[in-house]
Amino acid sequence: MSNRGRTKSDKKNRQILEAAIKLFVGSGYHNTSMDEIAASAGVSKQTIYSHFSNKQELFKSAVQSRRSDFLGAELALDTEAPPRDTLRKFATALLKLLLSEDVVRTRRVCDAEAESHPEVAAAYFSEGPEHTTRMLSAYLKKLHDSGQLTISNPDHAAIQLLYMLTGEAQMRALLNQPVWTDEQVMDYLDSSIEMFMRAYAAQ
């Protein structure tokens, strides 16, 4: 009676997905075995195969279930506040997100599997960096339209700003290299935002 209306146990499904994503992003796709996932999820291996047809399917579902977690809620771009303040808040929140263990490891797995699981990498790209770029571009266009800055190509400007702010830090994180201190980061972000404002100052 308890399973009326559904064919599989939703609870176990969730358990499996959570264990899978944890192990996949922690150790990589090839380095994670179905046995480990079963043990970590507290179910038998056969139960996994009854929910997901094979390891590749499970990987896809697991990464997709995780993606929405990253659509950072704090990344809002406040159009009321002064651009400097808005951009500083945005950059700080974004960097914190991009440097978190979870995001770094998920990104590594998506990169590594980009050729064998193109849909996974494509989904990551469109809901991650591409989405952020679109948001930023729309914000910059508003700044242009309101005369606060002069930006003839907001798409280019958004890409310039985004990767200027995050590129180095993210590369260091992906390659597991020492990251800057908070003070250095703030210093760099501030000088980069100033540089951006100078380049696109209202005429």
**Residues binding its own copies (CB under 8 A):** 28, 30-31, 108-112, 114-115, 118, 121-122, 124-125, 129, 133, 153, 156-157, 159-160, 162-164, 166-168, 171-172, 174-177, 188, 191-192, 195-196, 198-200
Provide, rounded to whole angstroms, the least separation between the CB of residue 120 and its own copies: 9
CB environment 102-125: b (16+ within 10 A), e (fewer): ebbbbbbbbeebeeebeebbebbe
Q: Does 145 contact DNA by CB under 7 A?
A: no
User: 175 contacts which partner out of DNA, its own copies, none, CB within 5 to 8 A by kind?
Assistant: its own copies
Query: By three-state DSSP, how is residue 194 classified?
Result: helix
When the beta carbons of 44 and 191 are compared against DNA, the nearer one is 44
Residue from 28, 45, 65, 186 in contact with DNA (CB under 7 A): 45
The first and second tokens of residue 200, run together, are 């696109």
Written as one letter, the residue type at 16 is: I
Q: Does 3 contact DNA by CB under 7 A?
A: yes
Q: Which stretch binds DNA (CB under 7 A): 36-44, 68-76, 141-149, 159-167?
A: 36-44
The first and second tokens of residue 146, run together, are 């309101």
Strand partners, 149: 201
> How far is it, in rounded angstroms, from Cα 30 to Cα 46?
19
Work out the angle at residue 95's Cα, subtended by the Cα atoms of residues 114 and 125, and round it to the nearest 5 degrees: 25
When the beta carbons of 53 and 176 are compared against its own copies, the nearer one is 176
Q: Residues 35, 45: contact at Cβ < 8 Å?
A: yes
Q: Does 150 contact DNA by CB under 7 A?
A: no
Q: Given the rule CB under 7 A, which residues bind DNA? A: 3, 7-9, 12, 32-36, 42-47, 49-51, 54-56
